Chains A and B, each alone.
Chain A
Amino acid sequence: MAGLELLSDQGYRLDGRKATELRKVQARTSVFAQADGSAYLEQGNTKALAVVYGPHETRGSRSKSLHDRAVINCQFSMATFSTAERKRRPHGDRKSSEMSLHLKQTFEAAVLTELYPRSQIDIYVKILQADGGNYSACVNAATLALVDAGIPMRDYVCACTAGFVEDTPLADLCHAEESGGGTSLALALLPRSGNIALLQMDARLHQDHLDALIEAAMTACKGLSKVLDDVVRQHLEEVSVLTRD
């Protein structure tokens, strides 16, 4: 029996949200001057920083470059102070390389890489504070950074997690809900077309519930896309007011 009651009888969650409610999302783009694009995003208590360099000549081994499209290089890392216990995380441990690979696959679906043959686009994401939904915070931050860098994309990529407790799908899980032993599904969506860029679920779930869970995650992603959209438009207007002749 799990110690925590993830969903109260009144339909409220641990942090007082309703089942479909998202955490507060705050974001800023262009936080660094020297990078081509950068963004900082807070999703509740999860904080992520994304930096984009490129497209540029492939560095390192030349064999990696592709003659017909750009290579996307993702690197995910977590700060030593990001979790409850302080822990040094060397580069290239299994968890972060898996996350890097997932990010790479996600953005290969969205970025128009065929416009930049023989180039490379670097995406570096760092989790500064981890409170569940690390993957989704990284994807959302990286999307903002890519838009800031002026790299052509089909659409935003929005990601969100969803869980399943007591026959109710919960959107945007926090750390307590994620580690509670329940199901957690991460979904990256291109909201306008409704195409799924990545879908990941490690736990067991009855087949009948899957559709409801995916539906909840997609609704959450669409909600997030509105927030990201506002951030980008706000920034766009601020800059274009400055550059107006």
Chain B
Amino acid sequence: MPPIPATEFTPVSALLGGLLIGLAALLLMAGTGRIAGISGIVGNLPETRGAEAGWRLLFLAGLLVGAALWVHAGPPGAVAVELVGGAPLLLLAGLLVGAGTRLGSGCTSGHGVCGIGRRSPRSLAATATFMAVAALTVYLVHHLLGA
């Protein structure tokens, strides 16, 4: 397992980006009454039709445009995407993330940002669980096994 590339604590951009994400979730609920949970928005897209598919596609298109704006027109080097691990690991991880977010009804955005944002004990329990398991996994992979 390759080591994790070093990153630095970036409090200002983290807080600013977090505010934007919160604002996005609030806008989607205030405008269309929908939870901004990315796993459900994209995962349930194949079984939706008409207006129900429409808002999902528009949201996802907006998400790509928003990210592309910063990547391609933002300050140089403001964001990198540094993948850690090869194809087998990333494919396995993708399967687990897909299966887990379906079974657990949400991901970092649906349970974390939105669920805790509406004070749901269910979402708080889910968020605590995936955070703890993820931290344990990193410890196992990068310290116990990768040492």
A and B associate in one complex: no
Q: Which residues of A contact B (CB under 8 A)?
A: none
Q: Which residues of B contact A (CB under 8 A)?
A: none
